[in-house]
Amino acid sequence: MKAYAKRLFDEAAKKLDYLNDVDYALERPKQEAHGDLSCNAAMLLARALKRKPREIAQEIVDALEPDDAVEKIEIAGAGFVNFFFSNAFLANAAKDALERGEKFGASDLHKGKTANVEFVSANPTGPLTVGHGRNAVVGDAVANFLEAVGYQVDREYYFNNAGRQMRVLGESVKARYLEALGETTLFEDHFYRGEYVKEIAEKLVEEHGDNLKDEPAEGAFKARAEAEIFKDIAGTLERLNVRHDRFYNERDLYDDGRIDATLDAMKERGLSYEKEGALWFKFSEMGGEEDRVMVKSTGEPTYRLPDVAYHLTKFERGYDAIVDVFGADHKDAYPDVLAAVKTLGYDVERVKVIVHQFVTVLKDGEVVKMSTRKANYVTLDELIDDAGADAVRYFFSMRSVSSHMNFDVDLARKQNEENPVFYVQYAHARISSVLRALDDADLAPSAERLDLLVAPEERRLLVLLNRFPEAVRHCAEFFELHHMTGYLAELASAFHKFYTECRIIGSDKALAEARAALAAATRVTVANGLRLLGVSAPERM
């Protein structure tokens, strides 16, 4: 609809030069009485032209040359130009959906381009928590949407198994191991206290008895912990239908010399210096906040150095779009990384950073202060156990990423029947059910007579089908998944109303088959929307 109206305006602009000078909007009005699409150009021009907006609106309308796609164009309010599309035009979307099936909504807008989406990226120090869930869901869905607009997408998980956290984890496992052997140990305050640490230690006792007593914590203990925890993380992600194409180990950056190369490159440009035994980068000269330590006086790099080197590899791998998904707690790091990458000659415009706000978890009416180390958390697995993978994915997708969200675990548990995801899935199941019943009534969906679909409920569904491709593009561009959940809720609602008011079986054959086609097209659309969000579309409920 928007594309069509835009073409009309572009044509009109050849006659009305002032249309070229104004950044007008083509929006869908909140109220149906205001049509399917609305343009505010006349109001925006009124001042510059020193004329009345409605007068300008009239001039614009006179200059537009619509064909029969448009039923009427009205001037309303302060000077809005409102479009009402014809049913014949709207019905095209239903035909599209039926013909293109799973491809409906997809486009080749970015065909031939590649994208890298990095998400989750939790170090293997413990099970994924509810907080990671938001990251996983957002990252995976964003990747889906990028694929839908033509990108070839790599999903990447970046991790570090060499830092202090992992060292402490190894020590924690060893301490539990010795405890299990009956020795008294000092379980230090900063150790990881989670049950999973004990479980790993117990496995080691079962398999090796006391043979590991003299092993260093950093050896077998850490290695086993990493392997077990990663297995656990992978299992959790699998349950959420989230998969990564590549796990990128920070260590590789050291092994293949990228860390040193990054240091050298900065040194060559005179952007690093030594102070108090540490190596600093001059971020203040690169547009960053202030200079930062990159290599500590101990000789150990800070996390920023590998972060820079890692991002350089993404550029070297030639991605057209580089998407980073992380929580608000990591927000301070990326401006420096981008500043360094830019200084080294790369186009940082390709990087899109999605910062999602924190998830506040409520349990038993209380806020749970999450800490992996202190073993104070609600795991993602527990949440999936309680609410189901579909509800978890839908729930995280429903909120704007920039919004803090409250996650009431007790509510999620009860939400079985009240969760909005079921409303949408139910529409899919209901349609599936009607379509199954068609055979017995000797009917089949047919797009031959879609012109018969003139009831308000039918028209409304058609309008929504028209909006789906736009909604997909919007999500791929702005990464705001809640626009898709909102769209799907509207679509499901429109269907349920249609279902209540417009009988399929029992109507005249031509009308029944046109309605069946509309239902089938709606089912395709619901299924595609849910699939992009990583949510299942059940045929029976």
Partner RNA sequence: GCGCCAGUAGCUCAACCGGAUAGAGCAUCAGCCUUCUAAGCUGAGGGUUAGUGGUUCGAGUCCACUCUGGCGUACCA
Interacting residues with RNA between 83 and 122 (CB under 7 A): none
The angle formed by the CA atoms of residues 160, 163 and 164, to the nearest 5 degrees, is 145
Cα gap 85→73, rounded to integer Å: 9
- What one-character DSSP code corresponds to residue 366? E
* For RNA, the closer CB: 185 or 402: 402
Which x/- pattern, by CB under 7 A, does the window 399-438 give for RNA?
xx-xxxxx-x-------xxx-x-xx--x--xx-xxx-xx-
Q: Kindly tell me which residue out of 19, 44, 387, 464 binds RNA, with binding defined by CB under 7 A.
A: 44
Residues 50-69 that bind RNA (CB under 7 A): 53
Phi, psi angles (nearest 5°) of residue 279: -105, 125
Instruction: List Cα–Cα distances, 327 to 121, 133, 331, 371, 394, in angstroms.
Output: 11, 11, 7, 15, 19
Residues 454-483 that bind RNA (CB under 7 A): 474, 480, 482-483
Instruction: List Cα–Cα distances, 61 to 18, 29, 204, in angstroms.
Output: 14, 18, 78
- Closest approach, Cβ 394 to RNA, in A, equals 11
* For RNA, the closer CB: 80 or 151: 80
Do the bridges between strand 26-27 and strand 37-39 make them parallel or antiparallel, or are there none, so unpaired? Answer: antiparallel
Neighbour-count burial of 486, counting CB atoms closer than 10 A to its CB (0-12 exposed, 13-18 middle, 19+ buried)? middle
Residues 293-312 that bind RNA (CB under 7 A): 293, 296-298, 300, 302-303
Q: Kindly tell me which residue out of 68, 108, 189, 276 binds RNA, with binding defined by CB under 7 A.
A: 276
Residues 363-392 that bind RNA (CB under 7 A): none
Residues 8-27 that bind RNA (CB under 7 A): 23, 25-27
* For RNA, the closer CB: 328 or 444: 328
* For RNA, the closer CB: 213 or 503: 503
Cα gap 321→151, rounded to integer Å: 9
| N residues, the chain | 541
Is residue 446 part of the contact set for RNA (CB under 7 A)? no
* For RNA, the closer CB: 187 or 423: 423
* For RNA, the closer CB: 114 or 400: 400
Angle at which helices 53-63 and 41-49 pack, to 10 degrees? Answer: 120
Is residue 198 part of the contact set for RNA (CB under 7 A)? no
- Residue at token pair 């998407």: 323
Q: Kindly tell me which residue out of 52, 103, 190, 503 binds RNA, with binding defined by CB under 7 A.
A: 503
* Listed ranges 185-193, 228-236, 343-351, 491-499: which one lies at the site for RNA (CB under 7 A): 491-499
* Listed ranges 90-98, 194-202, 224-232, 357-365: which one lies at the site for RNA (CB under 7 A): 357-365
Cα gap 25→66, rounded to integer Å: 18
Residues 222-241 that bind RNA (CB under 7 A): none
Instruction: List Cα–Cα distances, 148 to 349, 400, 490, in angstroms.
Output: 21, 20, 21
Residues 134-163 that bind RNA (CB under 7 A): 160, 163
* For RNA, the closer CB: 208 or 449: 449
